[in-house]
Amino acid sequence: MSDVQKIKRRFGIVGNYSDLNRAIGIALQVASTDLSVLITGESGTGKEVFPQIIHQFSSRKHGQYIAVNCGAIPEGTIDSELFGHEKGAFTGAIDSRKGYFEVANRGTIFLDEISELPQATQVRLLRVLESGEFIRVGLSKVQKTDVRVIAATNVNIIQAIQEGKFREDLYYRLNTVPINIPPLRSRREDIHLLFRKFATDFAEKYRMPAIWLTDEALNILINYSWHGNIRQLKNITEQISVIERDREIDEETLKGYLPGYHGEKLPAIIKREERKIFSSEREILYKILFDMKNDMNDLKKLVIEIMEKGDGKIDISEGNEYLVQKLYHSVDSASREITYQPREMKKKREEADIQDTEEVVEESFSLVDKEIELISKALDKHNGKRKRAAKELGISERTLYRKIKEYDIEN
Spatial separation of the C-alpha atoms in residues 204 and 370, rounded to whole Å: 74
Please list, in sequence order, all residues whose beta carbon lies within 8 angstroms of the beta carbon of residue 254, skipping any fewer than 6 positions away: 213, 217, 220, 221, 240
Domain check: are 178 and 205 in the same one? no
Over 90: is that where the pLDDT of 208 sits?
yes
pLDDT band with cut points at 50, 70 and 90 for residue 322? low
Over 60: is that where the pLDDT of 338 sits?
no
- Structurally, the chain folds into a number of domains equal to 4
Domain check: are 25 and 88 in the same one? yes
User: Could you tell me if residue 263 is inside a domain?
Assistant: no
Q: Model-level pTM greater than 0.75? A: no
* Span 84-102, average pLDDT: 88
Q: Which of 154, 182, 210 is the last residue of a domain?
A: 182
8-state DSSP, 181: P
CB-CB contact of 348 with 332 (8 Å):
yes
* Span 290-312, average pLDDT: 68
CB-CB contact of 63 with 104 (8 Å):
yes
Reduced to 3 DSSP states, what percent helix, strand and coil does the chain have, rounded to the nearest 5?
Answer: 50, 10, 40
pLDDT digits (tens, 9 = 90+) for 351-406: 544 444 444 445 555 677 778 888 888 888 888 888 888 888 888 888 888 888 88
pLDDT for residue 286? 60
Over 60: is that where the pLDDT of 273 sits?
no
Spatial separation of the C-alpha atoms in residues 81 and 69, rounded to whole Å: 11
pLDDT for residue 391? 84
pLDDT for residue 388? 85
pLDDT for residue 174? 95
CB-CB contact of 155 with 147 (8 Å):
no
Domain check: are 70 and 157 in the same one? yes
| CA 184 to chain centroid | 22
In the chain, the amino acid numbered 268 is A
Over 90: is that where the pLDDT of 180 sits?
yes
Domain check: are 322 and 207 in the same one? no
Q: What is the CATH number of the domain that holds 237?
A: 1.10.8.60
pLDDT for residue 374? 83
pLDDT band with cut points at 50, 70 and 90 for residue 269? very low
* Residue that wins the pLDDT comparison between 390 and 193: 193
8-state DSSP, 211: P
Domain check: are 78 and 100 in the same one? yes
Closest CA to 125 of 178, 65, 166: 166
Query: Containing domain of residue 342, as a range?
Result: 281-351
Domain check: are 123 and 48 in the same one? yes
Residues in the chain: 411
Closest CA to 14 of 192, 245, 278: 192
Give how far Cα 287 sits from Cα of 53, 290, 292, 297, Å: 54, 5, 9, 15
Rg, the chain, Cα only: 35
Among 118-122, 145-149, 345-349, 389-393, the minimum mean pLDDT is found in: 345-349
User: Could you tell me if residue 105 is inside a domain?
Assistant: yes
The chain-wide mean pLDDT, for the chain, equals 82
* Residue that wins the pLDDT comparison between 275 and 72: 72
* Residue that wins the pLDDT comparison between 272 and 299: 299
In the chain, the amino acid numbered 293 is K
Q: What is the CATH number of the domain that holds 392?
A: 1.10.10
Domain check: are 11 and 154 in the same one? yes
* Residue that wins the pLDDT comparison between 286 and 69: 69
Q: Which of 141, 161, 182 is the last residue of a domain?
A: 182
pLDDT for residue 357? 44
pLDDT for residue 114? 96
Domain check: are 68 and 43 in the same one? yes
Domain check: are 174 and 198 in the same one? no
Q: Which of 144, 167, 182 is the last residue of a domain?
A: 182
pLDDT for residue 324? 53
User: Could you tell me if residue 260 is inside a domain?
Assistant: no
Spatial separation of the C-alpha atoms in residues 84 and 134, rounded to whole Å: 10
Over 70: is that where the pLDDT of 297 sits?
yes
pLDDT for residue 233? 97
Over 90: is that where the pLDDT of 205 sits?
yes
* Span 206-223, average pLDDT: 95
